[in-house]
């Protein structure tokens, strides 16, 4: 494992109690950062903190509630002295259905968590990063943002929105020492698959030239560099993690 120096940095990982978010939090802790895990599952948060040790803290946060996000941001800045790194990993896949049959409430649920939640998180942390003239943000999008997946229009739309938002806000903050980027992973074997039909999971696997699912540690390795001080020039960009699936 390449050594990334995050000594003295304070990081937040949303959805950090499990799956991709937890793997990223592990890597950031190993690189020297203090990490605040944000999640809605108190039991999983307690388990994650026990595994990560003293470098980790936890806050119960609903990213679809801006007041909850803003309060958690203020708590991290007060208790840990800064908030240098934000990795927005919280998200849902949503149910599978053709667009003309897609349940309206389910559409709003997916958009609210995956897109509005990402907006709330970025909006809450940026004032402090601007004031300190330093920050690193990684928004977890998806290969679905680039290529779409049939019967998953809400997820594809939300993640495409995250990509567009990242490109816009990265340009807005380019005059500061703030790097804001997104990654577009292919499917990893995490709890997000629990919402999906088995045939849809098989379809996504068949689309990956590597012939396997993404390992969460592979995503964590890419994120670790993106949130480091070494990433001092690249911003408003999208990094592919699709195992060769992406066509652009």
Does 43 map to a domain?
yes
Q: Is residue 246 pLDDT above 90, yes or no?
A: no
Structure tokens at 246: 């992406």
- Going by C-alpha positions, the residue among 137, 146, 142 that lies closest to residue 114 is 142
Does 214 map to a domain?
yes
pLDDT digits 0-9 by tens, 125-157: 999 999 999 999 999 999 999 999 999 999 999
Does 122 map to a domain?
yes
155 is catalytic: yes
pLDDT confidence band for 109 (50 / 70 / 90): very high
pTM for the complete prediction? 0.94
In this structure, are strands 34-39 and 10-14 parallel, antiparallel, or unpaired?
A: parallel
Domain containing 208 — which CATH number?
A: 3.40.50.720
- Going by C-alpha positions, the residue among 7, 5, 4, 23 that lies closest to residue 15 is 23
Structure tokens at 76: 């991290």
Q: Is residue 70 pLDDT above 80, yes or no?
A: yes
Residue 243 contacts residue 218 (beta carbons within 8 Å): no
203: containing domain: 10-241
Does 248 map to a domain?
no
Does 53 map to a domain?
yes
pLDDT digits 0-9 by tens, 11-47: 999 999 999 999 999 999 999 999 999 999 999 999 9
In three state form, how does the secondary structure of the chain look?
A: CCCCCCCCCEEEEECCCCHHHHHHHHHHHHCCCEEEEEECCHHHHHHHHHHHHHHEEEEECCCCCHHHHHHHHHHHHHHHCCCCEEEECCCCCCCCCCHHHCCHHHHHHHHHHHHHHHHHHHHHHHHHHHHHCCEEEEEECCHHHHHCCCCCHHHHHHHHHHHHHHHHHHHHCCCCCEEEEEEEECCECCHHHHHCCHHHHHHHHHCCCCCCCECHHHHHHHHHHHCCCCCCCCCCCEEEECCCCCCC
Q: How far apart are the first and last CA of the chain?
A: 28
Does 3 map to a domain?
no
State the greatest distance between any 2 C-alpha atoms of the chain, in Å, as a whole number.
50
Does 44 map to a domain?
yes
Does 111 map to a domain?
yes
Q: How many domains does the chain fold into?
A: 1
pLDDT value of position 193 = 66
Catalytic residue among 155, 176, 203, 248: 155
pLDDT value of position 248 = 80
């Amino acid at each position: 494992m390449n050594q990334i120096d995050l000594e003295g940095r304070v990081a937040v990982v949303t959805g950090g109690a499990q799956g991709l978010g937890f793997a990223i939090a592990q890597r950031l802790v190993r690189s020297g950062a203090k990490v605040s895990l944000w999640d809605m599952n108190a039991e999983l948060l307690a388990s994650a903190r026990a595994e990560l040790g003293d470098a980790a803290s936890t806050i119960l946060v609903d990213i679809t509630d801006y007041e909850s996000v803003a309060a958690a941001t203020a708590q991290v800045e007060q208790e840990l002295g800064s908030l240098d790194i934000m990795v927005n990993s919280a998200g849902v896949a949503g149910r599978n259905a053709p667009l003309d049959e897609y349940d309206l409430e389910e559409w709003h649920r997916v958009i609210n968590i995956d897109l509005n939640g990402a907006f709330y998180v970025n909006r809450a942390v940026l004032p402090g990063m601007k004031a300190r003239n330093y920050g690193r943000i990684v928004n977890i999008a998806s290969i679905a943002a680039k290529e779409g997946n049939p019967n998953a229009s809400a997820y594809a739309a939300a993640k495409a929105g995250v990509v567009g938002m990242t490109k816009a806000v990265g340009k807005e903050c380019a005059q500061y020492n703030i790097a804001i980027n997104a990654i577009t992973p292919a499917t990893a074997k995490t709890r997000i698959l629990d919402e999906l039909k088995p045939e849809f999971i098989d379809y996504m696997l068949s689309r990956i030239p590597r012939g396997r699912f993404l390992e969460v540690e592979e995503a964590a390795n890419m994120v670790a560099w993106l949130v480091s001080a070494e990433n001092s020039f690249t911003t408003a960009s999208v990094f592919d993690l699709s195992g060769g699936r992406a066509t652009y």
